[in-house]
Amino acid sequence: MKNVAIIGAGLTKFGSHWDRDLVSLSVEAGIKAVHDAGISKEDVDALYGGTMSAGLFINQEHLASKLADFSGFRNIPSTRVEAACASGGVAFRQGYLDIASGMNDVVVVGGVEKMTDVGLHSITKALATAASHTYEANLGATFPGLYAMIAKRHMHDYGTKETDLAEVSVKNHENAIHNKYAQFRRKINVDDVLNSQMIADPLKLLDCSPITDGASAVVLASADVAKKVCDTPIWIKGSGHAVDTISLHDRKDITTLNATKEAARQAYLQSKMTSNDIDCVEVHDCFTIAEILAIEDLGFAKKGEGGKFVSEGQANIGGKLAVNTSGGLKAKGHPIGATGVAQAIEATLQLRGDAKNRNTNAEVAMAHNVGGSGGTSTVHIFSRDR
């Protein structure tokens, strides 16, 4: 397989864009990425775009054609990828595999979601399609409810406390202050989290990622192209993708996301690295308990000790492992299809040395994206060294 690098990156501001549509957000991120890469649109061989539910959010499908059209790309392959909240991560992997296989040399991978054009009931209904309709959504289960069950079980089995969950939120809000693209750039404290509105016991409002509009894009290139046009290529060293049961009731242990463990195993094996080699990681903290699970499932802490890892400061910048330096989904925001690509962008900025909230001297970074309650997961490992 060919070596593949990220040579360009572009983001929109994450938040509520009442005056913008999905297409304009996508075009903005794509133009930024192509400009950052120092290439022209004519150099691009293919497009991949991650988006979960444009049909329900904005009544628009066939996005592969529409986004290519409005971005000025004609007569090249354009593929829309859907994998719930892991849509961006899976799109990124498809772009990587395209170049690694030798099919193409330059690929643009984007992610986008426009979520605020409909009411809360419609948003909840759209998000529920990422769960099992028959066994979960149809019986009234929402994603806060599903992750609340996971949190309750983790607390029961391992003694995790509500304050451990709150510390995740506090850390990520602190990190987001330095991210100009983040939705929430303000400090909070543990009491703020504990006293916020209960959503699904034990998860409160400030334990949950927000409803977000936004887009992200990267330009991927083969080694031959990257060496010619980019002074600071960021190399994709490992890529993993796995799935698990879509329903919680079919899992042996709901406090372990086996899709994450398997995707990580693949990425570690390909990169010839272990968890000890990772300097910073963007994990899928759709809820605070999800960050704790990721820290454990990716091998950074023993099972049951993820909460302690965060509350002791080991996940802080300057700690053992910098987790969610961007602010994570919790504070940066979670425009579903854009999240996986945005995580790769944060890894790129960290390794380039361009992040305002930089983990000093980071050499290796990771991005971890999850769909639903763990039905899909992708893990990517990045390095400054080829």
Tokens representing residue 62 in the block: 């066939």
Q: Alpha-carbon distance 167 to 311, whole Å?
A: 6
380 is catalytic: no
Q: Alpha-carbon distance 244 to 117, whole Å?
A: 31
Q: Alpha-carbon distance 12 to 15, whole Å?
A: 9
Instruction: Kindly report the backbone phi and psi dihedral angles of residue 232, in degrees, each rounded to the nearest multiple of 5, phi listed first.
Output: -130, 60
Which residue of the set 17, 154, 173, 334 is catalytic?
334
Angle CA 336–162–172, to nearest 5:
45
Q: Alpha-carbon distance 71 to 217, whole Å?
A: 12
Tokens representing residue 343 in the block: 């995580």
Task: Enumerate residues 6+ apart whose C-beta is below 8 A from 348.
Answer: 6, 9, 218, 234, 354, 382
CB 364 within 8 A of CB 278: yes
Helical H segments across the chain, by residue range: 22-37, 54-58, 63-70, 87-100, 120-128, 143-158, 162-176, 190-194, 223-229, 258-271, 288-297, 306-311, 328-332, 336-352
Tokens representing residue 149 in the block: 């069950």
Which residue of the set 85, 208, 230, 280 is catalytic?
85
334 is catalytic: yes
CA distances from 170 to 99, 100, 160, 166, 366 (A): 39, 39, 16, 6, 21
Angle CA 151–328–275, to nearest 5:
80
Q: Alpha-carbon distance 50 to 91, whole Å?
A: 5
Task: Enumerate residues 6+ apart whose C-beta is below 8 A from 86.
Answer: 284, 340, 369, 370, 371, 376, 377, 378
- H or E element, residue 136: none
Q: Alpha-carbon distance 153 to 354, whole Å?
A: 40
Q: Alpha-carbon distance 212 to 1, whole Å?
A: 36
Which positions are catalytic?
85, 334
